[in-house]
Amino acid sequence: MRPLVLSLIPALVAAAPAAAQTGSLEQVSAHLRGISTMTADFVQTDRNGKSVSGTLTLRQPGKVRFQYQKGVPLLIVGDGKALTMIDYSVRQVSRWPVGNSPLSVLIDPRKDMSRFARIVPAPMPGMISVEARDPKHPEFGTITIVFARGSGPGGLALQGWTVLDAQNGRATVRLSNQRFGMPISDKAFLWDDPRPKGPRK
């Protein structure tokens, strides 16, 4: 299974048949800015159709955690400036700066989305799809983020995203059981470093 962070740092293209365009970047920005906290279950599927599941925890500004299912020795934690991937199977820690990459639209919704994102045909009626890419770094690929009209902030709910990297590798992340506005402790974003010892932020 391709690590989620390697599918996030490169970016995406819609994975479903196109429907009529709907919504606007302003609506999407308002939704993302309105998220104080969110948790959701996720299922990540790679190009070969293999899937793993886990739990997403998000707290603005910039805190995110991808906790994989039991038996998958990976953890991804974001601090708003970088994503840290911990691979416990090989005791390795890697960091990727978020910077101005398309992923920053989720981690820092204060950014001007119009600089790197546009509305594209949605998978089905009632959804909004946003395609984002960094024009200065086409090697990152393209990310398409899908929102559905619902009870989340701004009347939308983040449904997931699909990433198409520069090597045409595709990974899709689908969310379910989204919950907004619950208290989330700083402890949710700590991680155990397999190299030395002790929790790290």
Kindly report the CATH number assigned to the domain that includes residue 82: 2.50.20.10
Confidence (pTM): 0.80
Of 166, 177, 125, the closest CA to residue 146 belongs to 125
Share of the chain above pLDDT 90, in %: 34
Is residue 77 one of the residues assigned to a domain? yes
The per-residue pLDDT for 2 is 45
Residue 104 in any domain: the answer is yes
Q: Assess whether pLDDT exceeds 60 at residue 150.
A: yes
Pairing of strands 156-164, 142-149: antiparallel
Instruction: Evaluate whether residue 190 is within a structural domain.
Output: no
> Is residue 197 in some structural domain?
no
pLDDT value of residue 97: 79
Q: Mean of the pLDDT values across residues 108-135?
A: 81
- pLDDT tens, 5-51? 444 433 322 223 333 344 688 888 888 888 899 999 999 998 888 99
Q: Is residue 191 part of a domain?
A: no
Beta-strand relationship, 37-45 and 51-59: antiparallel
Domains held by the chain: number: 1
Residue 198 domain flag: no
Token digits of residue 112: 């001007």
Q: Is residue 193 part of a domain?
A: no
Mean pLDDT of the chain: 80
Full domain range(s) for residue 173: 4-185
pLDDT at residue 152 is higher than 60: yes
Q: Residue 9: inside a domain, yes or no?
A: yes
Exposed/middle/buried for residue 132 (C-beta within 10 Å: 0-12, 13-18, 19+): buried
Comparison of pLDDT for 100 and 85, the residue scoring more: 85
